[in-house]
Amino acid sequence: MIKQLEKFEIEEAMDIWLKTNITAHSFIPKEYWIKNYNIVKEEYFPIATTFIYKEDNIIKGFISIIDNSFIGALFVLEEYQGQGIGKKLLNHCKSLYSILELAVYVDNIPSVNFYKHCGFIIKEEKEHEDSGFMEYIMTWKKPTSRLCCI
């Protein structure tokens, strides 16, 4: 079930954030993620709209949207990856927002391919200002329905 994150669920979501970042970004020292844990929890989570995928009373993944268009996070616990949870979370947001944008590390090839498969296109490539690693800025726009008059 997808629902909006509640305050009492932030710790569990942050545990997913930390574990998944360390696993997915093996090219970045894990100390970087540990150092940024409190910044994300105290500065980004409060300004984001976060949706969780919860099943059997376990948060299996979440997606956070900042400023009604930027995907600040999309994480699924490793043991639940490949089950369509990330796609369900992304599709939920596609139903709510007409434009979505995100940043993904170039070296995170599985995630880049996932986003391409979900209809995102690469808008630009740039250096991440904090980590120094290259990232893609990717975008998705809701298709406009064309009405035809005869």
Q: Which residue has the tokens 């808008």?
A: 123
Q: What is the mean pLDDT of the chain?
A: 93
Residues ≥6 apart with Cβ < 8 Å to 56 = none
List the beta bridge partners of residue 134. Answer: 127
Residue 145 has pLDDT above 80, yes or no: no
CA 88 centroid distance within chain: 12
Residue 150 has pLDDT above 60, yes or no: no
pLDDT one-digit tens code per residue, 47-106 = 999 999 999 999 999 999 999 999 999 999 999 999 999 999 999 999 999 999 999 999
Q: What is the pLDDT of residue 147?
A: 60
Is 2-141 a CATH 3.40.50.1220 domain? no
The model's pTM is 0.90
Torsion sign over Cα 19, 86, 134, 65: negative
Q: What is the pLDDT of residue 146?
A: 63
Query: What percentage of the chain reaches a pLDDT higher than 90?
Result: 87
Supply 46's token pair: 């409060």
Residues ≥6 apart with Cβ < 8 Å to 130 = 36
